[in-house]
Amino acid sequence: MQRIETLEHVAAGLDALCLADPRLVPVRERAGEVPLRRVEPGFASLVSIVVSQQVSRASADAIMGRLVALADPLTPETLLAAGDDLYRAAGLSRPKEKTLRAIAAAILDRGFDLDAVVRLEAGEAIAAMTALHGVGPWTAQIYLLFAAGHPDIFPAGDIALQSAVGNALGIAPRPAPKALSVIAESWRPHRGVAARLFWAYYREMKGREGAPAAVPAQVIEK
């Protein structure tokens, strides 16, 4: 199936979703612009997603900004060589420091290739990524959605998506991850676009961005 590479792919996916599930028509109307949400694959992108784990978008953006300034360039070599003080100054917890060091070591010592993993099928890619310390299904799914444009991944563990789907479909309390996974099955094979739709809906519902932080442009440019 076509990966999500352009806004035209997003629009085509939204058309297919609304045709298959009419409940999504008013969701699309309220959501407004549904962004592409694509970033370059690689270490910096995965770092930004790890930073986004279990914190607000605003907090993740602030931490990532400090980390980029302190760890220049933002590479596996830099983060593996950094002392604890750098991580504390950036605002990262010790568990996230451990995760970032483990990812950096996997790349440098074992040749783990974040560029190659995006070319795998979703299930194989998720299995490879979750073998890394501190990388769970949510982190792997977000990386594959944003860095690879995988078309049929829906990160049901994402709290913003749970909240958005619950509000849009009148489900109270918001669906838990397992329940949301079941709901999202009906949106195959366009679950990647469905996730983008509900993040956009959340933005309009809450007045703030709920999707995980993207890599700062200056990181990609380096």
Which long-range CB contacts under 8 A does 25-30 form with residues at least 24 apart? 26/168, 27/168, 27/197, 27/198, 27/201, 28/197, 30/168, 30/201, 30/204, 30/205
Burial readout 195-214 (b: 16 or more C-beta within 10 A, e: otherwise): bbbbbbbbbebeeebbbbbb
Phi, psi values for residue 131, rounded to 5°: -75, -15
Phi, psi values for residue 139, rounded to 5°: -60, -45
pLDDT at residue number 165: 98
The residue ranges of the chain whose pLDDT is under 50 are 216-222
CA distances from 99 to 17, 90, 95, 168, 191 (A): 36, 15, 6, 35, 28
Query: pTM here?
Result: 0.93
pLDDT at residue number 221: 40
Structural contact between residues 125 and 144, judged by C-beta atoms closer than 8 angstroms: yes
- The domains of the chain, with CATH numbers, are 7-37+151-206 (1.10.1670.40), 43-150 (1.10.340.30)
Number of Cβ atoms within 10 Å of the Cβ of 106: 19
DSSP classification of residue 144: H
